[in-house]
């Protein structure tokens, strides 16, 4: 069964600190993996996309990694800001069909001053 598991479910971090979110997937056949950020009351917005051959990709203070062999990805947030408080959703795309996706349940991050 195609699944995307994320951990931790939620975490609280102090402003300025770093944190790492984890994603394990069993989606097959794999095409690519995106991390989306969803602010409260809004739709998700893509942060990064990684294909099979990519190991690391950065977008500002966000750095995503992918290990396609172990089917694991992580999202590292550096020097967290209050605006980083959001849900981060790991999304894996199948390599067939019209852009069908498998979604994780999200990591809820709360940054406190």
Peptide bond into 29 cis (omega under 30): yes
Distance CA 50, CA 96 (A): 17
Nearer to other proteins, 41 or 60 (CB): 41
Nearer to other proteins, 78 or 94 (CB): 94
Nearer to other proteins, 65 or 108 (CB): 108
Q: How far is the CB of 16 from other proteins (least distance, A)?
A: 29
Q: How far is the CB of 17 from other proteins (least distance, A)?
A: 26
Q: How far is the CB of 55 from other proteins (least distance, A)?
A: 18
Nearer to other proteins, 24 or 78 (CB): 24
Contacts to other proteins by CB under 8 A: 31-32, 34, 41-46, 49, 51, 89, 93-101, 103-106
The number of helices, as runs of H, and strands, as runs of E, in the chain is 0, 11
Contact 109, 19 (CB under 8 A): yes
Identify the residue whose tokens are 């602010």: 39
Q: CB within 8 A of 29, min separation 6: which ones?
A: 94, 95, 96
């Amino acid at each position: 069964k195609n699944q995307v598991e994320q951990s931790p479910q939620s975490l609280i971090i102090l402003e300025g600190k770093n944190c790492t979110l984890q994603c394990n997937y069993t989606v097959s056949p794999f095409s690519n993996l995106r991390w989306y950020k969803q602010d409260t009351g809004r739709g998700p917005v893509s942060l990064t996309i990684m294909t099979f051959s990519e190991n690391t990709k950065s977008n500002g203070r966000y750095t995503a990694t992918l290990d396609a062999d172990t089917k694991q990805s992580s999202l590292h947030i550096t020097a967290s800001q209050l605006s980083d408080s959001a849900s981060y959703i790991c999304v894996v795309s199948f390599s067939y069909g019209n852009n069908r996706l498998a979604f994780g349940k999200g990591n809820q991050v709360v940054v406190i001053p």
